[in-house]
Structure formats: C-alpha cells, structure tokens
Amino acid sequence: MTQFKQTEIAFFGRITAGVTHELKNVLAIVNESSGLMQDLMALSKETPAYHDRFQKALTSIKGQVQRGHNLIAKLNQFAHAPDTTVRTVELFETVGLVVALSQRFAALKNVTLNIVSPLPSEQAVQATLNLVQFQMALFTAIECWLSMAAPGNELNIYLSKKENTCAILLACEGAFPAGNDLTSGLAATEKWPLLQDIATTLGGTLEIDAQKSGILLMVPAKHPMNVPAE
C-alpha cells in the first residue's frame, strides 16, 4: 500500500472516529432526556393520559439508544484500525468486529453469520499484520460468499492457528451450490480478484473448499516483511 493511500485511509479513520464521539454525545442526551421524562412521569401525582403508550415509547427509545451505542462503539473501533499500519491484534476479537459490521449485509440476503467459538486456549490467538488489509480481506471474503448464498444459509466462520499461519474458514450450513459450481461461481464473483490481491498482499493464500462450501483464507501470523509494497 502506498504512503498516500495509507494517509487517505487514516484520514477517513480520524474523521469517522471524531464523528462517532459526537454521536455518543447525541445518544447520551437522548438517553438522559428520555430518562428525565420517565422520572417526571413517575413523579406525577395523577396518571397522565396515554401513560402506557408513553412508557412503551420511552422503553423503545432506551433500547434504540443501546443499539446505537453498540453500533457506534464498533464503528469507532473500526475507524481506529488505520492508526498503526502493522500491529498485533487478537484474531478472535478482530474477526468478531468485521462479522458484526457485516451483519447488515448478510441480513439483507436473509443469511446468518456466526463465529464458531474457538477453544479457550485458542481465543487468545494473536497475529501481527496490517489490520486494515486483514479486515478488508475478511469483509471481501464475506461479500463473495454472500453473493453466492441462498436465503436461509448460515455462514460459519472458524478460526485456527498452526505455527505461523492463521486460518480463517468461511463455511456454509444449509443448501448451497456444491462442488464445481461453487468453485467456478466464487471465482466469477466481482470481488474475487480483489480478494486474491489482498490475500497476496498479506502474504497469505486463498482457497475454495468445495467440500465445506467455503472459502479458506490463510495469512501469516507475523507480518511478512518480504512482501513488497505497492
């Protein structure tokens, strides 16, 4: 990645991170204002008209504040990805963030995304890599897979690490185009060449696992210093 591209990504990250902070303040004001309305209703000596309806609406606002809070927290975390070019990350947490941010794209296709919890000893799998590129690779793999998926499919994401290689398998549960169809279908998706490029840049490999109806992305657990920059 060129220095200028890195700077561009960092710029988007900084702006996004700043705006998420403002949005947190917006949510905090909505939260306190709706809370005050609940307080005042509780203090009223007489039951106000539409009391139950107000309570229901205020409960809904509280739920949406929490939903917004969760989304913004993830967006903020994502926006900080370009802060450092190469860094050591917890793989499970990083994949979890990308999966969480991809849920809406999956929901639009009526597909469910799951991370299959690794064993406790594997939860602390660390990798030193270019975080933006890794997140982009994973998201692009999900996009490719979604473009082939049928409504009702489930995409299970498995993580493992052997020696210096992290393996991320995106495998299907449910009826899916099998065998050669999957191989040729995935390779024909619009984003597949991009995914191959990113995997190569990460010093990794990309395979289609026809048996498991999935995509296998393998990346070095340590940033490959020998991979030439663009």
Partner 1 sequence: MKAWKVLLIDDEEDFVMTLAERLQIRGLCPVAATDGETGLDLITNESFDAVIVDVVMPGLSGLEVLERIKNFKSQIPVIMLTGHGRSEDGPRGMQLGAFDYLIKPFDIDELIQKISEAATRRQPRNPHDTI
The residue ranges that bind partner 1 (CB under 8 A) are 20-21, 24-25, 27-33, 35-36, 39, 43, 65, 69, 73, 76-77, 80
Closest separation in Å from C-beta 34 to partner 1: 10
Report the residue number, 27 or 144, with the smaller CB distance to partner 1: 27
Smallest distance from partner 1 to CB 40, Å: 8
Cβ proximity of 162 and 213 under 8 Å: no
Q: How far is the CB of 39 from partner 1 (least distance, A)?
A: 5
Q: Which is nearer to partner 1, 33 or 164 (CB)?
A: 33
Q: By C-beta, is 43 or 229 nearer to partner 1? A: 43
Tokens of 35: 């809370």
CB atoms closer than 10 angstroms to residue 55: 14
DSSP-derived pairing of the beta strands 112-115 and 154-162: parallel
Helices (H) and strands (E) in the chain, counts: 6, 7
Which C-beta is closer to partner 1: that of 45 or that of 162?
A: 45
| Residues 109/155, Cβ–Cβ less than 8 Å | no
Token pair 């070019």: residue = 85
Of 33 and 84, nearer to partner 1 (C-beta) is 33
**Cα(138)–Cα(81) distance, rounded to whole angstroms?**
14
Identity of the amino acid at 216: L
Minimum Å gap between C-beta 12 and partner 1 is 18
Smallest gap from residue 89 Cβ to partner 1 (A): 12
Chain length of the chain: 230
Nearest-approach distance from CB 35 to partner 1, in angstroms: 6
Nearer of residues 10 and 73 to partner 1, judged by Cβ: 73
Kindly give the interhelix angle for 91-108 and 131-148, rounded to the nearest 10 degrees. Answer: 30
Cα(191)–Cα(199) distance, integer angstroms: 12
Question: How far is the C-alpha of 51 from the C-alpha of 27, rounded, in Å?
Answer: 24
